Amino acid sequence: MDTTVVVGIDVSKDRLDVHVLPSGESFSTPRDEQGVGALVQRLAPLGPYAIAMEATGGLETLVAATLNGANLPVIIVNPAQVRAFAQALGKRAKTDAIDAAVIARFVAATKPEIRPLPDADTALLAQLIARRRQIVQMMVAERQRTTQLPTRPLRRSAARLIKALQRELDVLDREIDTTIHGSPIWREKEELLQSVPGVGPVIARTLLAEMPELGALTRREIASLAGLAPWTRQSGRWRGKSFTGGGRASVRTALFMAALVGSRCNPILKAFRQRLDAAGKPKMVALIAVARKLLTILNAMLRDKSPWKTA
């Protein structure tokens, strides 16, 4: 591995634009099986430190999986961070070739930690969980529309659609059950997570699928990954309020729901929330703190393979 060689890839629907540092070489290839295969053959001899691409809503999946399968170091970077980096460089123009170069320069400058990508089974589970979330969102939206529909035929139409979505949700739940129960490791982790009051099957499976690093990182690292680590703002004598942001939105949402439930039924989280309320903490600040504490507990439980204990 040559730690000076970094590759940036801009992924579009039909094409991959590639930029290699420090040589400055740029080229493009089709985003299909043959094109990605040719890309592997071209990049492997370089022994790059990192091959980076932005999260693009699924277009990057084939590319990342193929490169990862060839034992090449792949990093999926945050598009917002890359765009902010481009603005800091004064790069106002935006083309696919420019984006590839900016991605490469971003990784060369920041040296992000390279973690193994989720395996195929974990990626499939994440897709099932994401699809389930989409179906639930569609059902909620349709139920809200139902209250505004003026006639009975329209309300019946909405009811038929909700019923169809419920059937699809049941199918997805069965597929998720089969996937989880087919793996002894996942089954054990799910049981450990659900032993915590406030953590149900949906939350446990969201964490398994979308935060596979749980149990393998420090408490600060895992909080940062979920977007629950507070950012300090300070300049001279001025001290601003700390805030949280970034991270994996779906995981953070699941943890917020678990924190809300746990604040009522989990004795440790309930006592922690009461102390925060007594100290005058705003409700959202307290909720974030409870979610962060819960995540820390879950991380330690999976690390130690230890079930929930009240005391």
Indicate the helix (H) or strand (E) that contains 48. Answer: strand 48-54
Give how far Cα 34 sits from Cα of 22, 29, 65, 97, Å.
26, 9, 14, 21
Is the pLDDT at 31 greater than 60? The verdict is yes
pLDDT, one tens digit per residue, over 211-252 is 888 888 888 888 888 888 765 555 555 454 555 556 678 888
**How far is 99 from 18, CA to CA, in rounded Å?**
9
pLDDT, one tens digit per residue, over 191-204 is 999 999 999 999 99
**How far is 43 from 47, CA to CA, in rounded Å?**
7
Q: What pLDDT score was predicted for residue 291? A: 93
Q: What pLDDT score was predicted for residue 168? A: 94
pLDDT, one tens digit per residue, over 139-175 is 999 999 988 888 999 999 999 999 999 999 999 999 9
Is the pLDDT at 45 greater than 80? The verdict is yes
Neighbours of 300 (CB within 10 A): 13
Contacts (Cβ under 8 Å, ≥6 apart) of 193? 199, 203, 204, 207, 208, 298, 301, 302
Least Cα distance to 67 among 44, 87, 46, 85 occurs for: 44
Indicate the helix (H) or strand (E) that contains 51. Answer: strand 48-54
Least Cα distance to 38 among 51, 53, 28, 25 occurs for: 28
Q: What pLDDT score was predicted for residue 170? A: 94
Give yes or no for a contact between 226 and 248, defined as CB atoms under 8 angstroms apart: yes
Token representation of residue 111: 């040296």
User: Which of these CATH numbers, 3.30.70.100, 3.30.420.40, 3.40.50.10540, 3.40.50.80, describes 2-110?
Assistant: 3.30.420.40
Give yes or no for a contact between 205 and 129, defined as CB atoms under 8 angstroms apart: yes
Coil, strand, or helix at residue 79? helix
Read off the pTM. 0.68
What is the domain partition of the chain in residue ranges?
2-110, 121-182, 201-304
Neighbours of 20 (CB within 10 A): 22
